[in-house]
Amino acid sequence: MLENFSFRTIVEYLPLFGQGLVTTVWLSALSFVGALVVGIVLCAMNLQRGWLFRAPAKAYIDAVRATPLLAQLYFLYFGLPRLGFVLPELVVGILALSLNSGAYIAEIIRAGILSIPRGQVEASVASGMTYVQRMRLVVLPQAFKVTIPPLLGQAIVLVKDSALLSLISVAELTRAGQLLASDRFMPAEGFVTIAAFYLLLYYCLKGLAVLSSRWLGTAGART
């Protein structure tokens, strides 16, 4: 088994894997920031009383959650140009990941906000706080704390989803593995190596989650 495994080839391809890793990291980071913005906007729309903002936000979240990311990616890359919008692959990639992940993040934040007991909101209304004060001082600090773990979970999903960008010619980590597999016909070496790198990224994010929960545990808002 293992005598067929070529560590030498993996070492030879390490610079390529390194470049791919760097691309995966910055692409995912940018996409996550984009997804947070999309998520917050969607969540704000979704929490409105009037249907005018709520209905489109709900429809969007359902549409994104019901369709595969691959289909969304192909639509943006191969479909949109037929409608007159030609975007470079990196833009399409970041856009697709942000728009997709944003829908999930909107629901995570909404769940966080709704987890704050109704009584606290009523109490802050009774003590004469404005909407902004209520959100800033009572609801959001607590909601923030409960959303951190699922948000980091979503970030891990996003990093793994970024592998799909290899299909629209983005030279990220998975593509580096595909190149090794197709150049040297060594799929085992190529895909084991990217698995190791994704595991590394996973542990980094997990470490971040532990650190942030510790930080929030001491410095976070307490009621």
Partner 1 sequence: MKIARLFIAGLALAGLTAAASAGTLDEITKRGELRVAVQTQGPPFSLVGANGERTGSSVELAELMAKEMGVKIKFLDFDWDGLIPALLSGKADLLVADMTPTLARGMKVAFTTPYMYTGSTVFTKADSKFKTTEDCKAKGTKIAVLLGATGEKEAKTAFPDADIKSYKGGGPLLLDAVNNGQADCGVNDVSAVKGQSTAYPAGSFTIMPDLLSKEPLAFATRYDEPDLLVWMNLFLNQVTIDGRLQKNLDYWVNSDAWKKDH
41 lies in the binding site for partner 1 (CB under 8 A): no
Rg (CA), the chain: 21
217 lies in the binding site for partner 1 (CB under 8 A): no
Phi, psi for 131 (deg, rounded to 5):
-55, -45
- Coil, strand, or helix at residue 170? coil
The footprint of partner 1 on this chain (CB under 8 A) covers a number of residues equal to 19
Contact 124, 135 (CB under 8 A): no
Q: How far apart are CA 101 and CA 43, in angstroms?
A: 13
Among 40, 121, 167, 216, binds partner 1 (CB under 8 A): 167
Q: How far apart are CA 98 and CA 48, in angstroms?
A: 22
Among 125, 136, 182, 200, binds partner 1 (CB under 8 A): 182
Of 21-29, 80-88, 133-141, 195-203, the segment contacting partner 1 by CB under 8 A is 80-88
CB 78, min distance to partner 1, A: 5
Of 122-130, 132-140, 162-170, 201-209, the segment contacting partner 1 by CB under 8 A is 162-170
Torsion angle, alpha carbons of 161, 95, 144, 112, to 10: -70
Contact 198, 21 (CB under 8 A): no
Q: How far apart are CA 102 and CA 123, in angstroms?
A: 31
Cβ-based nearer residue to partner 1, 80 or 140: 80
Cβ-based nearer residue to partner 1, 9 or 120: 9
Q: What residue ranges bind partner 1 (CB under 8 A)? A: 77-78, 81-82, 86, 88-89, 166-169, 175, 178-179, 181-183, 185, 187
